[in-house]
Chain A
Amino acid sequence: MKQQSVVIKSNQYGLTVILDEAMPFPELKTEVAGKFQASAGFFKNAQMALTFRGRSLTPQEEWDLVQVITQNCPLEIMCIMDEDALTEEAMKKAVEEHASMGGQDGKFYKGTLRSGQVLEAETSIIILGDVNAGAKVVSKGNVVVLGSLKGTIYVGAAGNENAFVAALSMDPMQIRIADVIARSSDRQAVTRERKKSDDTPKIAYVEEGNIYIEPITKEVLGDIRI
């Protein structure tokens, strides 16, 4: 009986793929593709950490294999782990750390953020107050301002383009979502400060590399991913 050239082992947070040492790489790739295709249904949309074992791979080969796996299987590879770090605990930690980049956790801040003040958080933030011009809020998750937003805001600071900003009154100097930056129009300063803030609650999000600011409606909220 022919020994299996590719074996997949899994625990709750990670996959270990044991590879045959002798098989030529192109053949091995096909074999991996087959294996993952066969178990595609089993993995459906899981987020996993990945470890290769049994064979030393160059970074290029490793990358090729990850490509093959994600093409053949609805699996999100969060990270590739070295074999020596291979414990369920380490994988768990890595996956959870990555997940927190989406800002699933949140915290509250009460008070008005004034010029020169900076509020930074690893999590999402809900602000009970205004963010005045000259103040700055940085979050790896999302930000909701229950007041008027006139300062600078940076959400998805770890690179999450799905992050959003919502405010009761939206008139920021600058919005940055992941790596997309938008600034306010060059209205005259006086009219900007004078302008009775438009009281429609709005939400800002990224779509196709652009920041959109829309009134909060069921349709818009339906498109938000968190």
Chain B
Amino acid sequence: MSEVIVITSGKGGVGKTTTTANVGTGLAKLDKKVVLIDTDIGLRNLDVVMGLENRIVYNLVDVVEGNCRIKQALIKDKRYPNLYLLPSAQTRDKTAVSPEQMVKLIQELREEFDYILLDCPAGIEQGFKNAIAAADRALIVTTPEVSAIRDADRIIGLLEANDIKKIDLIVNRLRMDMVKRGDMMSIEDVVDILAIHLIGAVPDDENIVISTNQGEPLVGDSSMAGMAYMNICKRVLGEDVPFLDLNSKEGFFTRLGKLFK
């Protein structure tokens, strides 16, 4: 049984694409057959984060318009054979695709894949409507900032109105030092406001910037962010994984490594 997950936030720049790349890669690491769809037509960048930009020949709009078959547009990941990317078009805009076309496309992909992840554009317009049209569940990404939380709240309302019942929250870019000083909202504060299920919290980690620039998702490595993303993947699969202690500066394996030095 395949599951279609939309990764959305409302506000831009909170980490939707990074989350899509890492959760998608993580699920592939856990032996699931996964396809990532970049629905941000006109501002594509999931391919860059995945390091697959140079392989693009056809894209989402080509598939929808019938210029190619789905198989031709799917790009196989360079690390995991069970991970695929359907890139978006860079030269068109959001109106090139309709929600009905998305539903039809995803219906076809459902037969092939265990997980279909949709990277949603920022905003609540056509691009958002396309992305959520066929989704079974949603991962809401927010940072502990009032503007991001306000937008996330709006998005949750819209998802509920569109009958997407399963909505989970990822709090991204947490800085525990700032939370301790009282300058940043804590995970509890955010969950209190949004009142939805928390599926993971990802600390602000410079490794994310490095991995994004290199086009290598860091999920599953020994960094705090890498472990946090792996835990999210396991929770997406329904496993009960305890939350990381984000207070420690470095990951468990880094510390373990230091012990043996």
Contacts and interface: CB of A to CB of B under 8 A. Distances in A.
Interface stretch (B114-122, B181-189, B213-221): B181-189
A194 B189 contact: yes
Interface stretch (A77-85, A96-104, A127-135): A127-135
A193 B195 contact: no
B234 to A, nearest CB: 28
B157 interface: yes
B189 A115 contact: no
Contact of A133 (B150, B182, B184, B185): B150
A114 B189 contact: no
A209 to B, nearest CB: 32
B141 to A, nearest CB: 16
- Secondary structure at the B interface, as helix, strand, loop or mixed, is helix
Interface string B104-146: 0000000000000000000000000000000000000000001
Interface string B184-200: 11100100010100000
Interface in A97-118: 111-117
A135 B156 CA distance: 12
B195 A112 contact: yes
A193 B157 contact: no
B146 A134 contact: no
Contact of A193 (B156, B158, B193): B193
Contacts of A135: 157
A74 B223 CA distance: 79
A1 interface: no
B183 A114 contact: no
B154 interface: yes
Given A193-B149, A193-B193, A116 B185 contact: no
A193 B154 contact: no
Query: Among the interface residues B146, B157, B183, which one has the most CB atoms of the partner chain A within 10 A?
Result: B157
A194 B150 CA distance: 13
Contact of A134 (B153, B158, B189): B153
Interface residues of B, number: 18
B106 to A, nearest CB: 26
Contacts of A111: 160
A47 B251 CA distance: 74
Contacts of A114: 153-154, 156-157, 160
Query: Among the interface residues A150, A189, A193, A194, which one has the most CB atoms of the partner chain B within 10 A?
Result: A194
Nearest to B182: A194
Nearest to B183: A190
Contacts of A194: 182, 185-186, 189
A190 B150 contact: no
Contacts of A190: 146, 183-185
Given A115-B157, A130-B195, 18 more contacts: A112-B195, A114-B154, A114-B156, A115-B153, A115-B154, A116-B154, A116-B158, A133-B150, A134-B150, A134-B153, A135-B157, A189-B146, A193-B149, A193-B189, A193-B193, A194-B182, A194-B186, A194-B189
Kindly list the 6 A-B residue pairs having the minimum CB-CB distance in the complex, ordered from nearest.
A114-B157, A115-B154, A115-B153, A116-B154, A114-B153, A189-B146
Interface of B: 146, 149-151, 153-154, 156-158, 160, 182-186, 189, 193, 195
26 contacts: A112-B195, A113-B157, A114-B153, A114-B154, A114-B156, A114-B157, A115-B151, A115-B153, A115-B154, A116-B154, A116-B158, A117-B157, A133-B150, A133-B153, A133-B193, A134-B154, A135-B157, A150-B193, A190-B183, A190-B184, A190-B185, A193-B146, A193-B189, A193-B193, A194-B185, A194-B186
